[in-house]
């Protein structure tokens, strides 16, 4: 059995630490827990959620990153469902505990002058999308029902079209 039980951290490069720290703290409500010198730059660590939650988000800044720029349709999508290069981050998703919390977050983001799509009803969840600093697309979602049957999401025709056999799909969906 594999013993990975959650993501420990997400780390993104930033060319503007002040603007980025402000977005994550003032707009999204993350808590700043560290600013440290590292190699040729700085690392900023922010906590997502309550103090007891171990989820963190980190940003890395150095002069070389600041001198480069995101490229639309390559390293950053033009819109929340835009096309980007393989391996690039399409969007970053966070969960809210319920629809009320999602609605409050959307209102908070809008009060900060940021355009938000949604909340949209996807049938199994509600979600909203916005672009943050440096073009990163964010999704904020909450489930309709945490007991949703996800088995219909394993579509054999789609899997086979992309080179994944039905037996391989079944094996990978119950991987442990």
Per-residue pLDDT tens digits for 29-45:
888 888 888 777 777 87
Stretch 122-146: mean pLDDT: 84
pLDDT value, residue 120: 92
Under a CB-based contact definition with an 8 Å cutoff, are residues 115 and 96 in contact? no
- Residue 25 is given by DSSP the state I
Q: What is the CATH number of domain 1-68?
A: 3.10.180.10
What are the distances in angstroms from CA 143 to CA 20, 92, 126, 129? 28, 16, 6, 15
Predicted TM-score (pTM) of the model is 0.74
CATH T-level topology, domain 69-145: 2,3-Dihydroxybiphenyl 1,2-Dioxygenase; domain 1 (3.10.180)
Under a CB-based contact definition with an 8 Å cutoff, are residues 20 and 30 in contact? no
Write out the residue limits of the CATH 3.10.180.10 domain(s) in the chain: 1-68, 69-145
């Amino acid at each position: 059995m594999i013993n990975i039980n959650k993501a420990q951290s997400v780390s993104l490069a930033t060319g503007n630490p002040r603007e980025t720290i402000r977005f994550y703290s003032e707009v999204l409500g993350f808590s700043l827990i560290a600013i440290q010198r590292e190699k040729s730059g700085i690392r900023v660590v922010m906590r997502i959620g309550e103090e007891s939650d171990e989820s963190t988000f980190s940003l890395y800044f150095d002069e070389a990153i600041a001198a480069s720029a995101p490229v639309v349709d390559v390293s950053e999508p033009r819109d929340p469902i835009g096309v980007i290069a393989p391996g690039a981050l399409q969007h970053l998703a966070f969960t809210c505990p319920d629809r009320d919390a999602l609605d409050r977050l959307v209102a908070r983001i809008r009060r900060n002058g940021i355009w938000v799509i949604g909340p949209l009803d996807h049938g199994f969840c509600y979600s909203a999308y916005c672009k943050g600093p440096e073009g990163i697309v964010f999704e904020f979602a909450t489930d309709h029902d945490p007991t949703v049957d996800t088995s219909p999401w394993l579509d054999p025709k789609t899997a086979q079209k992309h080179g994944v056999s039905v037996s391989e799909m079944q094996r990978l969906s119950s991987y442990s």
